[in-house]
């Protein structure tokens, strides 16, 4: 079979185009383009936090004024949530759960709302409040920790090993 130079170049261009298209899809799925991807990172975060113990985050949302967590106690023992900590750089922002603290029976689920005005710390910032933050914009909270009491043991802390990733609502 005899090829002309133009035919061979066209075939290479088609192959190159297909390779670039596959590469673009892979890059967007891995979350390297925040506007296109991020879903993989969000799914990993959701999978981790929904299986965390003793407190699992079933769902959450962040808007201009609040963070809302739907939390489950994965243990059979009753737990009392006393604080939610969100360290950011050199500052730690702690939401002290209102008195009386939120109690969870074994396996119970409850919604906890954290108003940003109640975060205690220097330069407390909301990832979804600002000129560049809009509904649907991605955010990542590098560290989320829960302070709780189990029976007579106080001051217990659960810190996630993965970031909490989501989109502003």
Per-residue confidence in pLDDT tens, the chain, 169 aa: 555 555 667 788 888 888 888 887 776 666 555 555 457 888 899 999 999 999 999 998 888 778 888 999 999 999 999 888 876 655 556 666 655 678 999 999 999 887 766 554 444 456 676 545 567 778 788 888 899 999 999 999 999 899 888 888 7
> What pLDDT, on a 0 to 100 scale, did the predictor assign at position 31?
54
Residue 15 lies in a domain: no
Q: What is the DSSP string of 126-164?
A: -TT-SSS--TT-EEEES--EEEEEETTEEEEEEE-SS-E
Question: For position 123, what pLDDT does the model report?
Answer: 45
SS3 4: coil
**Is 13 a member of any domain?**
no
Q: State residue 26's pLDDT score.
A: 72
Q: What is the pLDDT of residue 28?
A: 64
Rounded CA-CA distance 141/84 in Å is 12
Whole-number Å distance between alpha carbons of 160 and 119: 19
Q: Which domain holds residue 142?
A: 53-167
- pTM (whole model) above 0.85: no
Taking CA atoms, 46 is separated from 31, 43, 50, 72, 120, in Å, by 15, 5, 6, 14, 26
CATH of the domain at 96: 2.60.40
In a domain, 42, yes or no: no
| Number of domains making up the chain | 1
* 73 in any annotated domain: yes
pLDDT, position 90: 56
The answer to the question of residue 92 being in a domain is yes
Rounded CA separation 1/137 (Å): 55
Task: Give a yes or no: residue 90 inside a domain.
Answer: yes
């Amino acid at each position: 079979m005899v090829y002309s130079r133009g035919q061979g170049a066209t075939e290479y261009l088609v192959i190159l185009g297909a390779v670039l298209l596959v590469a673009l899809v892979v890059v967007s799925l891995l979350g390297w383009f925040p506007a296109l991807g991020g879903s993989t990172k969000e799914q990993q975060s959701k999978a981790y936090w929904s299986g965390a113990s003793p407190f699992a985050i079933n769902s959450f949302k962040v808007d201009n004024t609040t963070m809302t967590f739907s939390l489950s106690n994965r243990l059979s023992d009753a737990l009392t949530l006393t604080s939610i900590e969100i360290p950011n750089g050199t500052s730690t922002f702690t939401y002290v759960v209102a008195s009386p603290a939120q109690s969870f029976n074994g396996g119970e689920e409850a919604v906890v709302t954290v108003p940003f005005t109640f975060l205690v710390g220097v330069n407390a910032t909301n990832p979804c409040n600002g000129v560049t933050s809009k509904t649907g914009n991605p955010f990542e909270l590098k560290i989320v920790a829960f302070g709780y009491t189990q029976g007579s043991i106080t001051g217990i802390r659960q810190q996630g090993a993965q970031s909490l990733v989501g989109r502003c609502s």
